[in-house]
């Protein structure tokens, strides 16, 4: 199944490259597990939510290196079980996200089988828009004549 991500391009800031990567690599069947959502929570806040049922906090690793976020999960096989039916996929996975410029991971929590990764776009002061005062070129000349 292929999703049209073009509405997301118009309504988000900071994930343009991520959406392009998802759009280009979305047809790869090996990248379908685990399912995830990307939410925009505010002007600079985002959340990636991944369905990781059956994984504990110790089974998950989250790593940020440069502009790449990697989430990996590996369950410990402490005992062999004889399943009559196994419908819950708890296989080892590794999912990579390419983060946009100035996007930082601020935290992660595992809640009810969902891994929530909080992201924030932090724009440095040097990159923020500045307001420039406009002055009239002949303002001093008018004041001098009035005196």
Angle, vertex CA 108, rays to CA 45 and CA 66, nearest 5: 75
- Using CA atoms, how far apart are residues 49 and 15, in angstroms rounded to an integer? 15
Q: Which residues of the chain are under the pLDDT cut of 70?
A: 1-31, 77-79, 139-147
Domain 6-125 has CATH 2.60.40.790: yes
Quote the pLDDT of residue 110.
94
34 prior amide bond cis, ω within 30: yes
Could you tell me the residue ranges of all domains in the chain? 6-125
Q: What is the pTM of this model?
A: 0.64
Q: Which residues pair with 110 in a beta bridge?
A: 115
Q: What is the pLDDT of residue 26?
A: 47
pLDDT for the residue numbered 72: 93
């Amino acid at each position: 199944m292929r999703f049209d991500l073009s509405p997301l391009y118009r309504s988000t800031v900071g994930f343009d490259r991520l959406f392009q990567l998802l759009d280009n690599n979305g047809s790869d069947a090996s990248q379908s597990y685990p399912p995830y959502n990307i939410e925009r929570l505010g002007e600079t806040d985002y959340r990636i939510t991944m369905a990781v049922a059956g994984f504990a906090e110790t089974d998950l690793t989250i790593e940020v290196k440069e502009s790449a976020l990697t989430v990996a999960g590996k369950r410990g096989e402490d005992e062999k079980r004889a399943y009559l039916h196994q419908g819950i996929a708890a296989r080892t996975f590794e999912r990579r996200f390419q983060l946009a410029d100035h996007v930082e991971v601020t935290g992660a929590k595992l809640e009810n089988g969902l891994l929530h990764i909080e992201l924030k776009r932090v724009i440095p002061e040097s990159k923020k828009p500045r307001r420039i005062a406009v002055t009239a070129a002949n303002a001093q000349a008018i004041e001098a004549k009035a005196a």
